[in-house]
Amino acid sequence: MHEFLAQLANGVELGAIYALIALGYTLVYGILELINFAHGDVYTFGSFVALGVLVGLRAAGVLHGAGLILGIAAALIAAIIASALLNAAIERLAYRPLRKAPRLAPLITAIGVSFMLENLIELWQGSAPVPFPNVIPNPQLQIGALEVGVQQIVVVALAIVTMVALHFFVQRSRLGKAMRAVAQDRDAASLVGIDVNRTIAITFLIAGALAGVAGFVGGVSFGSAWFLNGFGAGLRAFTAAVLGGIGNIAGAMLGGFLIGLLESFSTWLIGGQWSNVAVFSVLILVLVFRPSGLLGESLPEKV
């Protein structure tokens, strides 16, 4: 029972991170029908930016008392801004010129961008995992039979706050409405005066910002950053987005938590070396049997 609860907490924590990344896939897919293969690496980039800020501030000796809270906030905000800008730059340079190309062209390009980012991050940070500064206090709390760290709670809370904010943004704000309109019908949206390019760029900014949050949260949670983190996490998050129903924001969150739980429980029950197999089997099974995902609606083919 004790172990079960611990795995549950683990799964939820992992799931929160996957959900944040999955939202980026889903937002971009919703609007462009493109699997932004480089999205996982934008997450890695965010992680390293947060790490860099924290290391710098620690070296400056300001990470205590109120300085600690400000420092953490600075790291988070830096990760958000850096990832958002990176993602928007990728869209502008690599995807926008291919908007009218055959459908596989942007996907191939996205894989190329992903490989380049991974390699560049490796050149910048080396090929070994870099420990994330352990500056956030992590006292353990006992809630009944469940023992959780404060960090875990912060991680999950931060993720949930972000997701709720995103939900309201997309549903209520002018920009959010424009995003939904472009997602539904680009030509019609442009006819009613929506700036399609700008809307798509903003979507990438938001997706990148979410990856930045995930990068910070993931760094804290895993205790390290690694140039290849984004590949595995990205694929899991993409699986989550597909499981929930790609293009569907609530679906991405649900999928994220489910995949997080699947990973933690498969690691516990059948061993960590099988968790990849478990996750990718889910991906294949969902795509084969329910490509619209748990919450998605099936789309009729356009003729």
Q: Does residue 39 contact residue 297 with C-beta atoms inside 8 Å? A: no
| Amino acid at residue number 218 | G
- Pick 59 or 108: Cβ nearer another protein: 108
Segment near another protein (CB under 8 A), from 2-10, 157-165, 211-219, 271-279? 271-279
Q: Distance between CA 224 and CA 264 in Å, rounded?
A: 18
Residue 104 CB, nearest approach to another protein (Å)? 5
- Pick 216 or 227: Cβ nearer another protein: 227
Interface with another protein, residue 268, by CB under 8 A: no
Segment near another protein (CB under 8 A), from 114-122, 145-153, 176-184, 251-259? 114-122
Residue 13 CB, nearest approach to another protein (Å)? 23
Interface with another protein, residue 188, by CB under 8 A: no
According to CB under 8 A, which one of 34, 54, 88, 148 is a site residue for another protein? 34
Interface with another protein, residue 299, by CB under 8 A: no
Interface with another protein, residue 269, by CB under 8 A: no
According to CB under 8 A, which one of 2, 3, 65, 104 is a site residue for another protein? 104
Interface with another protein, residue 116, by CB under 8 A: yes
According to CB under 8 A, which one of 80, 189, 225, 242 is a site residue for another protein? 242
According to CB under 8 A, which one of 59, 60, 70, 97 is a site residue for another protein? 97
Binding site for another protein (CB under 8 A): 33-35, 94, 97-98, 101, 103-109, 111-120, 122-123, 127, 231, 235, 238-239, 242, 273-274, 276-277, 280-281, 283-284, 287-288, 291, 303
